[in-house]
Amino acid sequence: MSFASFGISQNTQNLQGAGTNFYKHLYGTIFNASSRGAMDALVYISTVRENDYVLEALQARGYSYTVATDWTDFDTKLASGNYGLAVAFVQTGQTYPSLIGLQSFINTGGKVIFDDYNRNEDGYASLFEASYTGNLNFTSMTIIDPTLLNGLSNPVEIHNPEPSGWGIYSMGMTTIGAGEVLATFPSVKGDRSEQAAIIKGNGGNTIILGYLSDTPFDLNPAKGTNNRQILFQNVLGSLDQPPVPVSPWALVFGIFLIAVFMVIRYKRNLA
């Protein structure tokens, strides 16, 4: 799908007279960002209907954060080198963060969580080792990665927020390159492609979501049920996981096995 073929934007389809942008009053917010580093997040989410609990999840995971005012501000701040994590959600309109800026950030070890209701194949999806299947608006998601399932039950409900909701609120994906599927949508009749809902890529440093940030449900904080925040905390936890270190003894044992194999092969060649 080309960028030019998206047609009418979600912004004009669904936002006129249909409630306010929850994030409007949060643009420019800074939380505890006195020192910059791996646990400092830069956030820009173009629009949500309801609280998506992204900021609460960041705080619960020990992150400081800065909420950019728009994509231009996001690009400028991301280029500063002050942040370890970027949360970039394209959920209305057809404006984007800089693709070159995101690529540079990832190449230098930065971690990114991304979503895009436009399903832009012009570099953005592939940057996150994903491609879109064209299937839309799934209402449930099955988590297959144990890290993401902590505190949740399968499947996770995906819903279209009221009052009028989104035209597009979940988007099926498939992996490219070394992308790893962490959650799936139900299969689609007549389509054999996988319907990934969450994909981890770039050596574990990026995650692309196939749903908008305010669509995971069961949301009832008064009763202690807030799957939306728990799920995003788990997504953050998946990115926070360091690579599994190789034990020195395992390394020595591996070298020993290679040496044994070479000796046996040498003796066979002499026979």
pLDDT at 192: 80
Q: Looking at mean pLDDT, say which of 101-115, 218-232, 239-253 comes out highest.
A: 101-115
Kindly tell me if the per-residue pLDDT of 262 is higher than 90: no
- The tokens of 68 are what? 């950019």
Give per-residue pLDDT as tens, 236-261. 999 976 543 434 444 444 444 445 44
E strands within 91-188? 111-116, 130-136, 140-143, 156-158, 171-175, 180-184
Cβ atoms < 10 Å from Cβ of 223 = 8
Question: What are the boundaries of each domain within the chain?
Answer: 3-246
pTM, two decimal places: 0.82
Element holding 226 (H helix, E strand): strand 225-226
By percentage, how much of the chain surpasses pLDDT 70?
Answer: 80
Between 26-40, 51-65, 139-153, 175-189, the lowest mean confidence (pLDDT) is in: 26-40
At residue 33, the pLDDT reads 74
Q: What is the mean pLDDT of the chain?
A: 84
* Alpha carbons 203 and 19: distance in angstroms, whole number: 39
Return the pLDDT at 121: 78
Average pLDDT over residues 155-161: 94
> Measured between alpha carbons, how far is 2 from 225 in angstroms, rounded to an integer?
40
Highest mean pLDDT among 114-128, 151-165, 248-262: 114-128
pLDDT tens profile 18-72 = 357 899 999 999 998 766 788 999 999 999 998 999 999 999 999 999 999 999 9
Instruction: Determine the pLDDT at residue 240.
Output: 77
CATH of domain 3-246: 3.40.50.880
The pLDDT of residue 156 is 96
